[in-house]
């Protein structure tokens, strides 16, 4: 569940499904109900657990690597300040790492929400461990939750996360502006962003 310790502090914590490893038609699963006020106990796997996390559903052609997002994030990986988080279980770690390596993210720290752990509390746990300067998410409820706990968060806008922004620590941006916003927030001391690839999605 934990990524390897880095010599440089992570500045950028990015939700994998929000940016790089996306469903082919661009719609991700988001929370459908309010987040519990108290952290719920770890849930036991139900009958649908195995079916939901079949490797075939989390590789091509079901999922494609977003090359524009890869271009935006790759400089931060080179500088050792990028970490990724995902709700997929550790059983999918090996195939996920292969897909990431194919687009230039070999060895990137990868944090998993635990099996049966509520996504909001799992991602809060990861943020507490990583202590990022900036977090990127595409689920409005999860983004608001992280922002409420003081983590400056960017919400990548999409048709499935519409709703008002309430936290002062949360900013909604258009997906094409991702590279520009990260560069502005993290400062000029980091390397310039790679030129964006033509074509948004490509198989890993």
CATH topology of domain 12-25+42-202: Rossmann fold (3.40.50)
pLDDT digits (tens, 9 = 90+) for 85-115: 999 999 999 999 999 999 999 999 999 999 8
Asked if the model's pLDDT at residue 62 lies above 80, the reply is: yes
162-183 mean pLDDT: 93
CA–CA dist 46, 168 (Å, integer): 37
66-77 mean pLDDT: 95
Q: Which residues contact 106 (CB under 8 A, 6 or more apart)?
A: 97, 100
Which pLDDT does position 190 carry in this prediction? 54
% residues pLDDT > 90 (the chain): 64
Q: Is there a contact between 160 and 183 (Cβ–Cβ < 8 Å)?
A: no
pLDDT digits (tens, 9 = 90+) for 12-48: 999 999 899 998 876 787 787 899 999 999 888 776 6
Domain boundaries, the chain: 12-25+42-202
Q: Is there a contact between 182 and 160 (Cβ–Cβ < 8 Å)?
A: no
Task: Give the alpha-carbon dihedral of 80, 75, 29, 155, to 10 degrees.
Answer: 100
Question: And the tokens for 126?
Answer: 């990861």
Q: Select the more confidently predicted residue: 51 or 3.
A: 51
């Amino acid at each position: 569940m934990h990524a390897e310790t880095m010599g440089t502090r992570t500045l950028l914590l990015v939700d994998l499904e929000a940016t790089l490893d996306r469903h082919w038609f661009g719609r991700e699963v988001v929370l459908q109900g309010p987040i519990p006020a108290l952290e719920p106990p770890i849930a036991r796997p139900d009958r649908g657990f195995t079916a939901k996390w079949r490797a075939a559903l989390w590789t091509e052609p079901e999922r494609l690597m977003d090359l524009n997002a890869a271009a935006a994030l790759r400089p931060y990986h080179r500088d050792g300040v990028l970490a990724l988080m995902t709700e997929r279980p550790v059983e999918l770690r090996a195939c996920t790492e292969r897909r990431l390596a194919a687009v230039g993210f070999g060895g990137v720290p990868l944090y998993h929400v635990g099996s049966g752990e509520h996504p909001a509390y799992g991602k809060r746990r990861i943020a507490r461990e990583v202590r990022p300067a900036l977090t990127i998410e595409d689920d409005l409820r999860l983004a608001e939750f992280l922002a409420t706990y003081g983590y400056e968060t960017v919400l990548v806008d999409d048709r499935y996360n519409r709703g008002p922004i309430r936290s002062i620590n949360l900013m909604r941006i258009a997906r094409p502006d991702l590279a520009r916003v990260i560069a502005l927030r993290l400062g000029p001391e980091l390397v310039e962003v790679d030129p964006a690839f033509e074509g948004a999605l490509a198989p890993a």
